[in-house]
Amino acid sequence: MDLLLDGLANAATPTNLFFAALGVLLGTAVGVLPGIGPAMSIALLLPITYSVGPDSAIIMFAGIYYGGMYGGSTTSILLNTPGESSSVVTAIEGNKMAKAGRAAQALATAAIGSFVAGTIGTVLLVLLAPTVADVVVKLGAPSYFAIMVLALLAVTTVLGSSKLRGFIALFLGLTIGLVGTTTGQARLTGGQPLLADGIDIVVVAVAIFAIGEALWVAAHLRRKPLEIIPVGQPWMSRADWKRSWAPWLRGTAFGFPFGALPAGGAEVPTFLSYITERKLSKHPEEFGKGAIEGVAGPEAANNASAAGTLVPLLAIGLPTTATAAIILVAFQSYGIQPGPQLFENSGPLVWTLLASLFIANTLLLVLNLPMAPLWAKLLQIPRPYLYAGILFFASLGAYSVNFQAFDLGLLLVFGLLGLAMRRFGIPVLPLIVGVILGPRLEEQLTTALDISGGDVSTLWGEPVAIVVYVVIALILGAVVLGALRKDPETPSVDDRPMARTGAGTSDRGE
């Protein structure tokens, strides 16, 4: 607790509060823009934080993180086309509420619910992360190796409809991670000295998220403009509060544990929260027509799961969502190496970060509720300018790191890969996580075999490793069984529960 108060003291200087506010505003502004999710917001804004000191960068980053997340929910409520899978459920009831003239209440319950869930989630994070780190720090390289294999497998197989496409993404990511000279010899550099240090993950992420998205939108630009619902000052009546508080808490309870699992992500908990609220509601007839519980619960679940993903990220160094992967990159650039040694090695910085999360979360509520009408105006930005702007700022970010035209070339190449991935339905997350974890997987394997003198049996010489391998075997078994059970004549095109609910509700609505 003292440590957290110290962190709070570090974070709450006037300069840092300014950076926090700036981060919240920038993050929200970018996050509200259609086509830009939280991961892309952070990736695009990352270069700006590089030039300020570590404390200021961290608190500004916390602001960007929460701002970007909140911006996404505004978009899905006011436009009925959620940009990322975690907002799908919010859009179901949120957009119906907005159409019924209750946009202000939908935005208010989303914002306050996010605040409640974010605060509780961060408290749980503060309590849990050091404990998990204490346990994990005792593990040896073999266990790490096993846990990383599990994480790679989990992000590849648990989410997404096509396992084959998940593995394609994963191994493309691992290939990108091979580039460079970490092993002492140049691998896959094609003799290009600029590739000797490997490919910068920021360049890969910005290219796949931003350039890929811009090119994909260019191929399918909506010719008729979307209907945007005007909104006034967000507020809630006493009845809205009464109907919102329990869903907020239940959503938090769903979101945090799912976020903390290695195969985290907000899809499952937001969906579970939605079904629960529909079952428990005293107004079940309102579901499908704009029930406030259907916005309050999933939005809280979404934010709590975002806090939950920080547990494996900080304590083990494992990114489990695209946003977490970008956060990992950000931390490394601030000199924080997430992992079990984190709390010992860079204690003050981590506690500053955790304190910053509280501050950013509060500032978000204070700044964004009054500014909602302004954010709604951002949705009307002409699409040519929006996507031209995304290309512009993506290029600026990639160029400003090394001033190399070569990096811009890489940006284009991986942007085209991102376009192809969208065209062929290849998920982005396994690729990004593969790029990050691939080199570390090799490193842990080397360390493990180094210690054992080349004896391979060391890999299953620790109890934790054995347990993890059993889990891996179970997952692989389930994947193989699932593949065999399918009728070969009708390969699964869609077995995601999320997509079905999305389709079901939009069918009902239109």
Closest approach of other proteins to the CB of residue 90, in Å? 14
C-alpha pair distances (Å), 27 with each of 2, 57, 153: 30, 13, 31
For other proteins, give the closer residue by CB, 78 or 354.
78
**Structural Rg of the chain based on CA atoms:** 22
For other proteins, give the closer residue by CB, 456 or 473.
456
For other proteins, give the closer residue by CB, 131 or 446.
446
Closest approach of other proteins to the CB of residue 139, in Å? 19
What gap in Å lies between CA 392 and CA 413, rounded to an integer? 16
For other proteins, give the closer residue by CB, 27 or 37.
37
> Of 248, 326, 317, 230, nearest to 36 (Cα)?
326
Q: Are 398 and 407 in contact (CB under 8 A)?
A: yes
Closest approach of other proteins to the CB of residue 7, in Å? 25
For other proteins, give the closer residue by CB, 283 or 508.
508
For other proteins, give the closer residue by CB, 35 or 319.
35
For other proteins, give the closer residue by CB, 164 or 478.
164
> Of 105, 113, 507, 128, nearest to 288 (Cα)?
507
Reading the block at residue 47, the tokens are: 């270069």
Closest approach of other proteins to the CB of residue 484, in Å? 14
Reading the block at residue 54, the tokens are: 């570590």
- 171, burial (CB in 10 Å: exposed 0-12, middle 13-18, buried 19+): middle
Residue type at 417?
A: L
Closest approach of other proteins to the CB of residue 489, in Å? 6
What gap in Å lies between CA 161 and CA 164, rounded to an integer? 9
Closest approach of other proteins to the CB of residue 481, in Å? 17
Closest approach of other proteins to the CB of residue 194, in Å? 13
Reading the block at residue 431, the tokens are: 């690729």
Residue 105: alpha-carbon gap to chain centroid = 26
> Of 226, 170, 165, 204, nearest to 35 (Cα)?
226
